[in-house]
Amino acid sequence: MPSWRSLTARSGKPVSLPPYFVPDLPLLAAIQSCARRGVEITLILPARNDSAVVAAITSAHYVELLAAHVTLREYHGGLLHAKTLVVDRSVTLVGSANMDFRSLYMNFENNIRLYSDDVSRAVAKDKKRFIVGSTPISLEEVQSQSKARAAFDNLLTNVWLVF
């Protein structure tokens, strides 16, 4: 996840659309650090994921992301399959790799980094459509879920690392 991580760490205003958000600890730290220093970070995640395990692992990170002031939104128009990241309105990452270890190191998926204001503008415009079709996730909403559900999601997060 070096490109996801390095671009996020240096970014001014990224918006990310990962269908599978299963970050490693350095990526999670980079996202939180960016948000804490005032960078507006928005993750648009699918409201319905085609993998219950991935959905559980993703939601296990909601509290810490929201506490760091990351904006989380759930998209209701189907499964998002766009794997893009726009950084500082001039750098775009596009490819087949999700924000997870498996995509990059087991499935050998790749992304390409594009340095183009025009491409970044076009991708950002498309992302606005996803933002309109999504709803915000609040810290209160996440904290209201059952303790058993939160424990299960966290357990999956730790077990997933083994596989």
CA distance 4 to 126: 19
Beta strand 15-16 with 84-87: parallel, antiparallel or unpaired?
antiparallel
The CATH code of domain 2-155 reads: 3.30.870.10
For the stretch 85-143, pLDDT in tens is 888 778 888 877 666 666 666 667 778 888 999 998 998 888 888 888 899 999 998 88
- Whole-angstrom distance, CA of residue 29 vs CA of residue 73: 19
Give the pLDDT confidence score for residue 116 in this predicted structure: 93
Neighbours of 155 (CB within 10 A): 13
Domain layout of the chain by residue ranges = 2-155
Contact partners, residue 63, CB within 8 Å, separation at least 6: 139, 142, 143, 150
> In the predicted model, what is the mean pLDDT of residues 48-75?
88
Question: What pLDDT is stored for residue 68 in this prediction?
Answer: 95
- Token duo for residue 154: 């966290």
Per-residue pLDDT at 46 exceeds 60: yes
- Residue 1 is predicted with a pLDDT of 47
> pTM for the full model?
0.78
